[in-house]
Structure 1
Amino acid sequence: MSGAANNPYVVTPPDKTLSVEGVAADAKAVGDAIKATELVVKHKLYNVTTDQYSQTSISVPNDCTAALYFACDKALVWPRNFTNGTFIFQCFGKITDQVLNTLPSTNLSINLYYL
């Protein structure tokens, strides 16, 4: 860090290049840099069948850096575990009498949205 950054009596203008260490970054330059960064949300559909314990698993694609959201039209899919690129889900159906019902041996379509 430069001595000027630690000296309260020296006024240093904000860094518009976002490349100078120890100097405040220019807010507009930061905003422009964030706008220029494009995040592409990807999607993959999995057709799976739950086991006798209402669990199922999916392997994430190799280009997945972050799983954002799981969606299923027939069930609530609850991620229980993630190991070696595979999610294991507990799957629940309709709620009756304030109880989550399980879905053993059920075919489901799970949508994965990811970065």
Structure 2
Amino acid sequence: MKIFHFVLDKGGKVELQQIAKPDVDFSSPIEVFEKALGHEKKVTKSINDLMDEAIKENDHAVNSFLKWYVDEQVEEEALASKSLGKMQLIGGKGEGLLILDQEYASRSFTPPPAE
């Protein structure tokens, strides 16, 4: 919603579109984590493309706004990469999978600061 509100605050118009249904059929748990890392890289590229455009247009407000997303994606890609590495280490099966599942189940979500 941060982007939504930012666009409105800048006098823009938001036009929401349907999001394509994600894949739900995977050959292994490892593939799930490979796809997750690939998705994070796609998101990073999209943010970088927006940042490039903001720089080209000399739009300091957009540049400043996007820096949070740039930093966030560094964390997200690192987490996805680390998770994939763990999954590959355990081979995506056995007791290791149960331990990894318990580790992920114990994580807690911390929302970003309110605007």
Q: TM-score range by the shorter chain?
A: under 0.3
Larger helix percent? 2
Q: Larger Rg: 1 or 2? A: 1
Give the TM-score taking structure 1 as reference length.
0.21
The alignment's TM-score, normalised by the length of structure 2, stands at: 0.21
